[in-house]
Amino acid sequence: MRGARFVIAALLLLALLASACNTVSPPVNTLTPSPSETSAPVSTPSPAGTPAPASTPTPTESGATSLTALADMVERILPSVVYISVDYLDNSTFFPTVRARSGSGVILSTDGYVLTNNHVIEDARSIDVLLTDSESPHQARLVGADPLSDLAVVKIEGQGLPTASFGDTSKLRIGDWVIAIGSALGLEGGPTVTAGIVSNLNRSFTIGESAYYDVIQTSAAINPGNSGGPLVDLNGDVVGINTFIISGAQNIGFAVNTDTARRVYEELLQYGGVKRPYLGATLRTLTPALATDLGLSTDKGVLAWNVDANGPAGREGLKEDDVIVTFNGQDVDEASELIRLLWRHSVGDRVKLTFWSGEEQKEIWVTLTERPAGT
């Protein structure tokens, strides 16, 4: 009897549990938003057999939206990325010593012109370039170097070489995905590929004799040996040249923007050097504190810190402590911004400056000359 009662009780308990299971809340992966999520739109799945709207891309559609397409792009661009090995004379010790350094580069022409960083090939006694699919290095010659932008071009002999192409960075946005490729740490077996996003645009730095006024910050891992290698977008186009990192930081690397790199590359090929436009003034970002110290009538703009009276702008009336507020009609608040705009022009171009001189606002037209060597 007791056994029968136990069986009956167990059956009743199971029935109650089954009833409770039928009343639980929907699983958390349902499309119904919780109260804290109702401000965000929620997609409603289409009925079975109804195609999804064309405006909703899926991870497997054409382009670099799929992992396969991304891998295909990397496979296509890899052959144009090279390993560069340099022997140089180190004069920092009591006895000059021949040492070696390595970096990366990217082939931009089928006949062997390679863009890299100046600091990779600086003071080189010999330059060797190893292609991804080759076991023997090519001996390279220096075509030209530009310490100011930290870029250089070397040439290897060859025909029909794999190449990369410059991309259009005018459409590049913070948050866009980018890929850094290069010989990180000089590891054997080919270039290292890392992915990240554009963390910021138009960063400005001065390191040694190099002035970086058009730099892309990226979270893609960049390590020693990456210098000179390409930063590419998801189409495989070069949007920057990986150049430096901040020691001790994580996921903070920098690449010279293609807007600068393309022009430097073309001028190094044509002239062996870069012909930069010149205003004839040392520029400094004006701060409220500096404006107060100098007794200026405005605290916003670009300060003409030193002006060459015989330079292009000085001849037209710009003087020391004048404050430039527009360049060719575009407002400028920082020296780096003005210099970036200036470097987009060519020697001989006429540009308009609007500036405050004391309490008076003035406007002049300046014909740009070539930047003197050593300035």
Residue pLDDT, tens place only, 132-159:
888 889 999 999 999 989 999 999 999 9
Hey, what are 159's tokens? 């025909």
Distance CA 30, CA 17 (A): 24
pLDDT at site 174 = 96
Q: With 0-12 CB in 10 A as exposed, 13-18 as middle and 19+ as buried, what is 139? A: exposed
Indicate the pLDDT class of residue 375, thresholds 50, 70 and 90: low
Average pLDDT in the chain: 82
CA 172 to chain centroid, in Å, comes to 9
pLDDT at site 292 = 92
Q: What is the mean pLDDT of residues 344-369?
A: 95
Q: Is domain 169-271 in CATH 2.40.10.10, yes or no?
A: yes
Distance CA 201, CA 175 (A): 10
Given a cut of 80, is residue 194 above it in pLDDT? yes
Given a cut of 60, is residue 354 above it in pLDDT? yes
Residue pLDDT, tens place only, 214-248:
899 999 999 899 999 999 999 999 999 999 888 77
Q: Which residues have a catalytic role annotated?
A: 119, 150, 227
Residues of each domain in the chain carrying CATH 2.30.42.10:
277-370
Residue pLDDT, tens place only, 310-323:
999 999 999 999 99
Q: What is the mean pLDDT of residues 80-85?
A: 96
**Helix, strand or coil for residue 267?**
helix
- Higher per-residue pLDDT: 33 or 168: 168
Residues found in the chain? 375
Is 62:73 a contact under the CB 8 Å cutoff? no
Instruction: Locate all alpha helices (DSSP H) within 197-257, ordered by sequence.
Output: none
What is the model's pTM?
0.75
Is 284:294 a contact under the CB 8 Å cutoff? no
Q: Please state which of the ranges 16-25, 198-207, 288-297 shows the lowest mean pLDDT.
A: 16-25
Indicate the pLDDT class of residue 44, thresholds 50, 70 and 90: very low
Is 362:317 a contact under the CB 8 Å cutoff? yes
Q: Is domain 277-370 in CATH 3.10.20.90, yes or no?
A: no
Residue pLDDT, tens place only, 88-99:
988 877 888 889
Residues of each domain in the chain carrying CATH 2.40.10.10:
80-155, 169-271
H/E element, 214: strand 210-218
> 80-155 sits in which CATH class?
mainly beta
